[in-house]
Amino acid sequence: MKNQISILALDLGSNLGWCRCSCILKPEIKLNVIDHGTIYLDQLTQDRMKKDHNDVFSRHRTRMIVYEEVIRKLIEVVKFDCYVTEDVFCMPNRISAFRSLALYLEIFERIVNTEKQKQLYTVPPTLIKKHISNYGLTDKALVQQAVLDHPAITIQKNTEMTHHESDSIAGAYAFVMSFLASAI
């Protein structure tokens, strides 16, 4: 196994959080967050619908088209070794959000599998929170603070980081701890 790997991690949703990381595995695990951001898919969808009006595509379909374009741009930034996202979950009072999350995951996984010939790693939300804050039910604000305070995580630009960005960073760290730490 290589000692340094590059990771693209996403926090799926209409506010798509992402981070590009370099992880050093030995002598101790260090996660260097090179870049991160939040992509507001609803705004991009609204802009697309104004610019390219289409009577056939629903707003949801247009958002999925925009999302796929965004994913393709993100995965082409560098040659990533690993692709990571939080696993989808269903809240009974938010079924439509689950539908979108499942579709986002499917699109991301299809592109990673077929075009990059790589596995998409999914990490359960409670495991992400447990790895970053030692408690599986931590809220978003505490996850963000835990990411900022974590001694193994260095963030190149941590000013005005959204919760979605810190969730993607926490996901990258949990992936390293869950899938790679035991292999070294």
pTM: 0.92
CA-CA distance, 176 to 181, in Å (whole number)? 6
- Can you give the pLDDT at residue 169? 97
Question: Which structural domains are found in the chain, ordered by start?
Answer: 4-183 (3.30.420.10)
C-alpha dihedral (51, 55, 57, 60), degrees to nearest 10: 80
Distance CA 183, CA 147 (A): 23
> Taking a C-beta distance cutoff of 8 angstroms, is the pair 19, 169 a contact?
yes
Does residue 114 contact residue 47 with C-beta atoms inside 8 Å? Answer: no
89-132 tens-digit pLDDT: 777 777 778 889 999 999 999 999 999 999 999 999 989 988 99
The reported pLDDT for the residue numbered 137 is 60
- Residue 18, classified by CB atoms within 10 Å of its CB into exposed (0-12), middle (13-18) or buried (19+), is buried
**Phi, psi torsion values for 111, nearest 5 degrees:** -65, -45
Under a CB-based contact definition with an 8 Å cutoff, are residues 172 and 21 in contact?
yes
